[in-house]
Each structure stands twice: as C-alpha cells, then as structure tokens.
Amino acid sequence: MNPILKHNRTKIIATIGPASSSKKVVADLISNGCGVFRINFSHGSHESHLEAINNIRAVAAELKQSVAILGDLQGPKIRIGSIVGDGFDLEIGQEIVLDSSIPDEAGSPDGVSYVCKTLASSCEPGRVLMLDDGRVQLEVTAIQGERIVTKVIAGNHLSSRKGLNLKGGGLAEDALTTKDKKDMAFAAEQELDYLCVSFPCCPQDMEDARAMLDYIGSSAKLIAKLERAEVVANQDAIDGMINSCEGVMVARGDLAVEIGFESVTSVQKLIVERARRLNKPVIVATQMVESMIENPVPTRAEVSDIANAVFDYADAVMLSGETAVGKYPVEVVKTV
C-alpha cells in the first residue's frame, strides 16, 4: 500500500540534502519512522538526486522496508535579480524601484531587476510586494511601464535573488517552467512515486501537469502545493484544487507571505478538513521544527504545531531544511 495513503498514523516526509543523503543517515531515518523521502528540485543537480535516489532504494531493500520518493518541482518562483556586493539595508520610507530593464547583476539601492512578465500589469498603487518571505515589504506608489516605483514599509537587509510575492495573490505565471519539464522527465525515468506541482493557480494547471506526465509515461501521483492566495480564497477554490489531483500540500511558507501569517492556521485547518472529506491525502509542510536545524531539541511551539497537524488527521508532515541541511537530521525524525 502507498506510504502516504495509509491513514492510521500521520507519516513523516524527510527532505534529502547534504546532511541526509548518505546511506548511513538514510538508514537511520527509515529506522526511526521516515516513510517518504522528498527530492527538492529547487536545489542540486540530477546527478546528486540520482545518487540520493539510489541510496534510498538500496537501503530500503536492505532493511526490507517500503518507502516512497516524492519529487518537488521548483515552479515559477519569482525572484529579484542579483545585487552588487553583499546587498544593502532598506529603511522605512525609502524609495526603491523594481525595473526589468536593469541588468541582472546591477542591483543597488537605486533599483533592482526582476523577471516576471505579469508583475507590472498585476500591480497598482497601494498593492504590497513581499520580498524575502515578507522580511522586506514594499508599497507600490507608481507603475511606469515595466518600472515599478515603491516605498519601503517594512525594512530589512536585501541581498541577491530573494523571492518576490504580491500580497493577496494575483500573479498568473505558468505553473510549469522549462526547468520543471526537464525535472518531470527525470522523475519519470527514475519512477518517482509522487510529484509536487509548485504555485498552481487553478485546476487547469494540474490538468496540464497530468497531461505532461501522461506524455512522458509517468505514473507518479500529483500533489498540488497550495501556496497562492487565489487557490485558498474560499472553500470552492480549495475543493477545486483538491479534486484536480491525488493529494494536496499546505505549503505554509509562500502561503503565509501571500495571505498573511495570521490567516495560515485557519486556512490550514480548512484545507485538511476538506481533503479528508474528499478522501484525498494532505501534507502539512514548512517550519515544522525549524529550530532543530541548529538545535538538538524543538521549541514548545513547534511541538504544539506538529500535534495540531496530527490531531487534525493530516496524512503527513514534511521536514525541509531540518533534514536536508540541518545539524541533527536523525534527531529531528526521532523527535517528530
């Protein structure tokens, strides 16, 4: 039976990375309860992913354990361009321009570049742009072609290639990029069990992903990552996404940036409840025990967060940096 689809206990999904890709660590993770391994296509190469996949399958066979492998596509993550040096600090009230015509390597306090064909047309004065997961917030004051003039309303240090979101959602980029399609072909070759689609904005995006999988001959089950404001705007929107795939993920990182941190808990509970009613597996992800990247024990709040997901009958919780790059990957899985 499929590891995620078993519903008797909440499963643990561990992201593979430099801290956890060796056979020894993989064996320890499996022995301590990890049933699904995540390959994050936002990082690493196909060569490094193949080595990790081979290690997972070899160790699982040695231990006579059934584990699944989940591929997570990068999707159309919108980022600012590169910034000269180590970046710069932004102060509240300061003006800064986002301009697609600025050379990628020339970002400065005067302006930074971006690559998103719909960003300027989606903005209007008063909308807020969230950079670096909301650490920097910019209020749009004017649109001049592809030049977006903004005022800093939450300042912080800004460095190269940070993510960019439009608060409240509305950026309609294609869900599958050229890189995603190459990664899907790799996933098909390696016969991965699940494939997560990042930033889908409607059920049609999942249908397009399904058509791509059918074309390349993959039987992977599709998971929709719910991280755009428009796909969680109401129950009908959530139900539409759940019905378009084999499962959903509450991707709390970008979702929190788009809908506001204060709304995430109630939306998470609604997604989990609707997925259960529609008989689809649901994964809760992002910052489950993030403090354990550096520390051997979790915070009390993290323990409560995991317990909340379990009490709501989430099918799985997913660990990201905690197992991919953290100092204590095995202790993390033991704790969860």
> Would you say 113 and 79 are in contact if contact means Cβ atoms under 8 Å apart?
no
State the Cα–Cα distance between residues 120 and 148, nearest whole angstrom.
7
Active site residues: 38, 79, 225, 286
**What CA–CA distances, in Å, run from 130 to 96, 259, 278?**
13, 11, 33
Give how far the C-alpha of residue 170 lies from the chain's centroid of Cα atoms, to the nearest Å: 18
Write out the two tokens for 145: 């072609």
State the Cα–Cα distance between residues 51 and 49, nearest whole angstrom.
5
DSSP state of 95: E
> Would you say 2 and 66 are in contact if contact means Cβ atoms under 8 Å apart?
no
**What CA–CA distances, in Å, run from 127 to 91, 199, 231, 329?**
19, 20, 19, 40
